[in-house]
Amino acid sequence: LKLNSFFFLGSHDSFSYWVDEKSPVGPDQATAIKRLARISLVKKIMKKWSVTQNLTFKEQLEGGIRYFDLRVSSKPGEIGRQEIYFIHGLFGIKVWDGLMEMNTFLGQHPKEVIFLDFNHFYAMDDSHHFYLINRIRSAFGSKLCSVACVEHVTLQYMWEKKHQVLIFYHYPLYREYPFLWPGSKMPAPWANTTNVHKLLQFLETTLEERSRYGTFHVSQAILTPRVKTIARHLIRGLKNTLVHRNLPMILNWVKTQKPGVMGVNIITSDFVELVDFAATVIALNDLLLEEDKPAT
């Protein structure tokens, strides 16, 4: 069974279970937000809209998450350091700490495979990228799967080579490292809407287009707040404004899907533990096993 035929569960802004209210606002934010954030209350409000997950990496892995959506940044103003952090409005934990947490899980579960999608970089020049890439290599070593034709990457292939990690790197330096897959092999079309019906229609449309590309594919089942959404619901935050109300409808859509090259490959959501995504996705993968059984 090819990895792009399976149905995997992913998390959106996977690292955002913890953000640092005491750190400066990240370089991914507009200048006006940075100025406003000098007021401590503004950072508390930002946190309500920046946090999209409750579970740590370890808890997500134990809960069935296998795809991780990662945004990273240097911390401008840090003297004499090249440390790279996760970021979503506010700075999260060091990337190194997150990678080590994942590697510990993989060491305990040698048949598990994960996808790490480094898709946004902020305040990083080539020297920062070299530093981060070397950290990735140090963390996972021989667990890293070198770039191959997507069609060739099966579970059996991964197990035979003792590979467990596919890294997708949306920056030109990926060409210099055999273990960095180009970002183009992990398209993740974004609906950019607050309307759940428009979101589900978008997911349907992009799935229909998926098979022609021969890649992995992310269905982002996420609703994105607009400025006016945040302004109207400042204190309520993302979870209480958009996620709680709409996740059951999104889960119902997931239940009607199927795995396979014409179906869903990876689905991401905010606050993945709020509904029974994991059990639903695992049950849908059982359909592949049924298809794979030889006829008697």
Q: How far apart are CA 179 and CA 185, in angstroms?
A: 13
**Catalytic option among 12, 128, 129, 163:** 12
Whether 88 sits among the annotated catalytic residues: the reply is: yes
**Catalytic option among 88, 129, 163, 217:** 88
3-state SS, one letter per residue, for 122-171: ECCCHHHHHHHHHHHHHHHHHHECCCCCHHHCEHHHHHHHCCCEEEEECC
Give the catalytic positions in this structure. 12, 88
